[in-house]
């Protein structure tokens, strides 16, 4: 038998040989293989084992790996055989090529068995040995034009339609508005696609109304403006968080355009918090090749996945202070703002701790509580000044929907004002309770701005 049958053909041949009285060893000798090899082949055929796959072509996003055991002599021959489009894929330099030889005797057999013996036939051995060289390939490929990775994120540009009307505005000389943790983000409903926000639009609406009525010299966004829920390994990322970064970037940019439109003359500073730091950490830990990567034509700009580019800060004339937790912004000579990196579960515990070694009035967020402590510092000449530590709450929901918020963590909503003073700046926390706040004797009730948001961003294809 010149060619060894496989699968059902092998089972049929063995059945016929056995019916003619051949033993396993005799049938194996007829095939030119050992009895053990015959047993293995019969077992695989009987149990319908899948034949060995000599070429495996696996595509995973922007990467493709081809492994093969074939007679092709080169990677180019293999890729040509598989019709790989080299205008779409490029060969990674780390490809592997190996080879080995297989031999078989030059013989010709045709035997017919009867009664356990050869009835008639022939077996010719020509004494030669045929050698075949086989090659083993492992070829990694990379897309020349990468497809977007998950989460898909693009910077946005939005034209704001709802520009505030002209009105007589109260000007408080030397006031700096403090906007603490908004934690912008969502949980997606799988069935309806609806986005449930972590940020409280009514609480944010209170701050927008105050900006409508007062002109501020400076506005400090105290960090954790966005939650970046998809960009952390600290907590288990629920499937409901998937594909929520892009709508967050769109609404975040829209909100910043509102702030700039309401305060066209203010210095606005965006302090990056630990949540803004998530995107950079994710890049360093899981996408190192993309860390700080910029297009060749945009080397003078921030990287595409940087906070500045994502939210369009430069175009809105908003300063970015990075380098968390070291980033800080000054207002005058004796007050500064940071995001903060300390937190105590005890009421008042955070400010009681940080004020001990503090020499400058400092406002911060991070802890989502409203706490304030003040101490007096006296110099050698008897001059006294006040130093205040103030944590100013948050503008996210406090009903435990924000990832990581547990019962017993008594968060409070609010914002703050620094009233400039050359020596002893005054800090005024403004609590927000159930969407309402009292500032300068006026009650502000926040409204959900979602209708205006949807109207302004409808061209992006997203709906809130």
Instruction: Convert the pLDDT of each residue in 252-305 to its tens digit.
Output: 999 999 999 999 999 999 999 999 998 888 877 777 777 777 777 777 777 888
| Strand 218-221, strand 96-114: pairing | unpaired
Q: Check if the beta carbon of residue 439 is closer than 8 Å to that of residue 210.
A: yes
Neighbours of 442 (CB within 10 A): 11
C-alpha closest to that of 102 among 136, 72, 129: 129
Q: What does the alpha-carbon distance between residue 42 and residue 28 come to, in Å, rounded to a whole number? A: 11
Regarding pTM above 0.85, the answer is no
Q: Report the pLDDT value the prediction gives residue 126, as an integer from 0 to 100.
A: 65
Q: What does the alpha-carbon distance between residue 326 and residue 341 come to, in Å, rounded to a whole number? A: 10
Structure token digits, residue 99 = 């080879």
Task: Identify any residues that bridge with 107 across adjacent strands, giving them in sequence order.
Answer: 125
Q: Report the pLDDT value the prediction gives residue 162, as an integer from 0 to 100.
A: 47
Q: Report the pLDDT value the prediction gives residue 202, as an integer from 0 to 100.
A: 97
Q: What does the alpha-carbon distance between residue 56 and residue 312 come to, in Å, rounded to a whole number? A: 45
b/e map 334-348, b = 16+ CB within 10 Å? bbbbbbbeeebeeee
Structural domains of the chain, with CATH: 1-50 (no CATH), 52-109+124-147 (no CATH), 170-460 (3.60.21)
Q: What does the alpha-carbon distance between residue 243 and residue 255 come to, in Å, rounded to a whole number? A: 20
Q: What does the alpha-carbon distance between residue 227 and residue 279 come to, in Å, rounded to a whole number? A: 10
Residues 6+ away with beta carbon under 8 Å from 51: 6, 7
Q: What does the alpha-carbon distance between residue 312 and residue 314 come to, in Å, rounded to a whole number? A: 6
CA 92 to chain centroid:
25
Q: What does the alpha-carbon distance between residue 292 and residue 301 come to, in Å, rounded to a whole number? A: 11
Q: Check if the beta carbon of residue 381 is closer than 8 Å to that of residue 436.
A: no
Reading the chain (464 residues) residue by residue, the pLDDT tens digits are: 457 888 788 888 888 888 888 888 888 888 888 888 888 888 777 766 444 557 888 887 778 889 888 777 788 888 888 888 998 998 877 777 776 666 566 666 676 666 556 666 776 666 666 666 677 888 888 888 877 655 666 666 666 554 455 556 665 568 999 999 999 999 998 888 899 999 999 999 999 999 999 999 999 999 999 999 888 876 656 788 888 999 999 999 999 999 999 999 999 999 999 999 988 888 777 777 777 777 777 777 778 888 999 999 999 999 999 999 999 999 999 999 999 998 888 889 999 999 999 999 999 999 999 999 999 999 888 899 999 999 999 999 999 999 988 888 899 999 999 999 989 999 999 999 999 999 999 999 999 999 999 999 998 889 99
Q: Check if the beta carbon of residue 328 is closer than 8 Å to that of residue 271.
A: yes
Q: What does the alpha-carbon distance between residue 273 and residue 346 come to, in Å, rounded to a whole number? A: 22
Structure token digits, residue 266 = 């203010």
C-alpha closest to that of 24 among 1, 40, 9, 6: 40
Helix 8-19 / helix 35-46 crossing angle, nearest 10 deg: 120
Q: What does the alpha-carbon distance between residue 375 and residue 384 come to, in Å, rounded to a whole number? A: 10
Neighbours of 41 (CB within 10 A): 21
Q: Report the pLDDT value the prediction gives residue 6, as an integer from 0 to 100.
A: 80
């Amino acid at each position: 038998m010149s060619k060894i049958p496989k699968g059902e053909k092998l089972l049929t041949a063995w059945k016929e040989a056995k019916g003619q009285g051949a033993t396993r060893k005799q049938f194996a000798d007829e095939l030119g293989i050992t009895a053990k090899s015959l047993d293995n082949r019969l077992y695989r055929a009987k149990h319908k084992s899948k034949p060995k796959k000599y070429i495996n072509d696996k595509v995973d996003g922007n990467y493709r790996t081809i492994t093969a055991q074939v007679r092709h002599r080169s990677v180019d021959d293999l890729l040509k055989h598989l019709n790989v489009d080299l205008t779409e894929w490029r060969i990674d330099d780390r490809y592997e090529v190996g080879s080995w030889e297989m031999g078989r005797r030059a013989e010709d057999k045709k035997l017919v068995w009867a009664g356990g013996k050869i009835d008639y036939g022939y077996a010719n051995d020509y004494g030669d040995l045929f050698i075949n060289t086989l090659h083993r390939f492992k070829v990694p490929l990379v897309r020349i034009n990468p497809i977007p990775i998950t989460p898909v994120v693009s910077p946005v540009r939005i034209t704001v339609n709802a520009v505030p009307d002209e009105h007589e505005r109260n000007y408080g000389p030397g006031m700096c508005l403090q906007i603490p943790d908004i934690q912008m983000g969502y949980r997606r409903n799988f069935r309806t696609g609806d986005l449930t926000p972590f940020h409280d639009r009514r609480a944010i609406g209170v701050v927008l109304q105050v900006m409508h009525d007062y002109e501020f010299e400076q506005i400090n966004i105290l960090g954790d403006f966005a939650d970046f829920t998809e960009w952390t390994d600290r907590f288990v990322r629920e499937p409901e968080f998937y594909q929520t970064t892009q709508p967050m970037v769109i609404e975040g940019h829209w909100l910043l355009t509102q702030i700039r439109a309401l305060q066209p003359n203010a210095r606005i500073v965006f302090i990056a918090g630990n949540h803004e730091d998530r995107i950079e950490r994710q890049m360093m830990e899981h996408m190192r090749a993309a860390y700080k990567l910029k297009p060749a034509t945009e080397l003078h700009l921030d990287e595409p996945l940087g906070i500045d580019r994502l939210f369009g800060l430069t175009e809105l004339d908003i300063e970015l202070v990075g380098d968390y937790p070291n980033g800080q912004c000054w207002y005058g000579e004796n007050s500064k703002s940071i995001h903060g990196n300390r937190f105590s579960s005890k009421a008042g515990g955070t400010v009681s701790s940080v004020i001990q070694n503090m020499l400058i009035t400092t406002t911060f967020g991070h802890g989502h509580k409203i706490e304030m402590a003040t101490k007096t510092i006296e110099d050698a000449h008897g001059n006294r000044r006040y130093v205040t530590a103030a944590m100013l709450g948050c503008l996210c929901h406090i009903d435990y929907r924000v990832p990581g918020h547990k019962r017993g963590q008594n968060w409070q909503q609010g914002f703050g004002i620094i009233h400039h003073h050359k020596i002893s700046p005054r800090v005024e926390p403004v609590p927000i309770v159930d969407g309402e706040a009292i500032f300068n004797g006026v009650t502000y009730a926040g409204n959900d701005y979602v209708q205006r948001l949807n109207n302004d961003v409808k061209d992006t294809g997203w709906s809130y």
